[in-house]
Amino acid sequence: MVNEMDFKDKVVVVTGSGRGIGLRILERFYKLGAKVVVSDLDAAHVEEVASKMGDRAIGIAANVTIADDITALFKNVVEKFGRVDIVVNNAGITRDTLLIRMDEKDWDMVLDINLKGAFLVTKTAGKLMMKQRVGRIVNISSVVGLTGNAGQANYSASKAGLIGLTKSAAREFAPRGITVNAVAPGFIMTDMTDNLPDAAKETFRQKIMIDRFGEPDDIASAVLFFASDEASYVTGQVLAVDGGLTA
Ligand code: NAI
pTM: 0.98
Q: Judge whether residue 2 has pLDDT over 70.
A: no
**What's 247's DSSP letter?**
-
Q: Which atom of ligand 1 is nearest to the CA of 141?
A: 44
113 lines ligand 1 (CB under 6 A): yes
What pairs with residue 181 in β-bridges?
138
**How would you class 131 by CB atoms within 10 Å of its CB: exposed for 0-12, middle for 13-18, buried for 19 or more?**
exposed
pLDDT, tens digit (0-9, with 9 covering 90-100), for 153-169: 999 999 999 999 999 99
In three-state form (DSSP H/G/I as H, E/B as E, the rest C), the secondary structure along 110-143 is HHHHHHHHHHHHHHHHHHHHHHHCCEEEEEECCC
Distance CA 204, CA 216 (A): 17
- Longest pairwise C-alpha distance within the chain: 50
Residue nearest atom 16 in ligand 1 by C-alpha distance: 91
pLDDT at residue 236, rounded to an integer: 99
Q: Judge whether residue 9 has pLDDT over 90.
A: yes
pLDDT at residue 90, rounded to an integer: 99
Number of Cβ atoms within 10 Å of the Cβ of 69 = 18
pLDDT, tens digit (0-9, with 9 covering 90-100), for 71-90: 999 999 999 999 999 999 99
111 lines ligand 1 (CB under 6 A): no
Residue 75 in 3-state DSSP? Answer: helix
Q: Judge whether residue 5 has pLDDT over 90.
A: no
188 phi and psi angles, rounded to 5 deg? -115, 135
Planar angle of CA 113, 140, 91, nearest 5 degrees: 35
Residue 174: partners with Cβ closer than 8 Å, 6 or more residues away:
235
* Residue, of 1 and 37, whose pLDDT is higher: 37
pLDDT, tens digit (0-9, with 9 covering 90-100), for 169-216: 999 999 999 999 999 999 999 999 998 889 989 988 999 999 999 999
What pairs with residue 59 in β-bridges?
38
228 lines ligand 1 (CB under 6 A): no
pLDDT at residue 195, rounded to an integer: 87
What is the residue extent of each domain of the chain?
2-241
pLDDT at residue 4, rounded to an integer: 67
pLDDT, tens digit (0-9, with 9 covering 90-100), for 98-119: 999 999 999 999 999 999 999 9
pLDDT at residue 3, rounded to an integer: 53
Distance CA 205, CA 203 (A): 5
Cα of 175 vs centre of ligand 1, distance in Å, is: 31
pLDDT, tens digit (0-9, with 9 covering 90-100), for 116-143: 999 999 999 999 999 999 999 999 999 9
CATH topology of domain 2-241: Rossmann fold (3.40.50)
| Active-site residue flag, 30 | no
